[in-house]
Structure 1
Amino acid sequence: MNPTLFTLTAFIAWTLFLLVLMEAMRSNLVLTRQVAPTGFTPDNAGLSPFMQRLARAHANCLEGLPIFGGLMLVALVSERTAVTDPLAYAFLAARGLQSVTHLASASATAITLRFTFFAVQMAIGAVWTWGLLAAA
């Protein structure tokens, strides 16, 4: 499996993992009668700060998947993974670190660090876009 295909698959798997974690925690809250089954909002408002950060980390992945996943998919379908392969693992690391930092804390330092990891992803996305357009 080349780096682009691995990264796309791992990005999808990470997004799914965050969803499963959130739903397992929500299920526990329902089963222990701490929250009614209808008591959830998409952003987990009213729940613990961790649950709110988890909802946001998952949403961040969903927001980025069409853009970054789309670029990787374009590279795969057009057989131009030479454009995305060199930075694929760096992208995946930045995405994972952004999510983990999001889950760990809402401090000013964590927010700055999280944005840094996101900025790395944006830069990689720009490089990929330019490279794919230039190769077209």
Structure 2
Amino acid sequence: MSATYITLIGYIGWTMLLLLVLAGYRTVLSKQMKTLKFAADGSDVPDVGHRITRAQANCSESFAIIGGTLLLAIATSSTAITDGLAYVLLAARLAQSIVHMISTSNLAIQIRFVLFLVQFGLCGYWLFMLFVKFTS
């Protein structure tokens, strides 16, 4: 199995794991709050819950770019373009989420931004290479 396939599976699995963590957190919290209502942005829960909510949402929001790029490579049998750096992208995604859940300090925000730029840059590079491949 190519690195692109594994990265896509890992990305989806990570997003699902964060959703399960969030659901578990909210389930425990709902017993204390006596309600099952929740704000989708996590603004109604303590800081750690807000950070988990945002980390999970950020994975979902980024899927259009990251998942879309990986799926395009897979669908067009172009994983040779993405395989070389696919694990770097997955590591940056995991690290961004972990940093997001650990802290919201200025340094943590800067680290998250750098990790986001790695992912964005890789997808941009891959899309350019795919474009070149199919327009040459």
TM-score calculated relative to the size of structure 1: 0.95
2:41 aligned counterpart, secondary structure: coil
1:33 aligned counterpart, secondary structure: helix
**Structure 1: 4+ residue segments shifted above 2 A:** 32-35
Question: What is the aligned partner in structure 2 of residue 77 from structure 1?
Answer: 75
2:32 aligned counterpart, secondary structure: coil
2:44 aligned counterpart, secondary structure: coil
**Aligned counterparts of 2:28 and 2:76: Cα–Cα separation in 1:** 44
Question: What is the aligned partner in structure 1 of residue 25 from structure 2?
Answer: 25
Question: What is the aligned partner in structure 2 of residue 58 from structure 1?
Answer: 56
Quote how far apart the aligned CAs of 1:35 are.
4.2
Moved more, 94-103 or 21-30: 21-30
1:105-124 deviations in Å (ceiling 9; x for gaps): 00000000010100111110
Quote how far apart the aligned CAs of 1:44 are.
1.5
Q: Pairwise CA RMSD of aligned residues?
A: 0.9
- The partner residue of 2:106 within 105, 108, 131 is 108
Identity of aligned residues (%): 37
Aligned residue identity for 2:36: P
Note if 1:36 corresponds to 2:40: no
1:10-50 deviations in Å (ceiling 9; x for gaps): 000000000010001111112x3324112x10011121111
**Residues 115 and 19 of structure 1, relative CA distance in 2, 3 Å threshold:** same
2:16 aligned counterpart, secondary structure: helix
1:47-99 deviations in Å (ceiling 9; x for gaps): 11111111111111011111111111111111000111011000000000000
1:45 aligned counterpart, secondary structure: coil
**Aligned counterparts of 1:129 and 1:6: Cα–Cα separation in 2:** 19
Aligned length: 134
TM-score calculated relative to the size of structure 2: 0.95
Aligned residue identity for 1:37: L
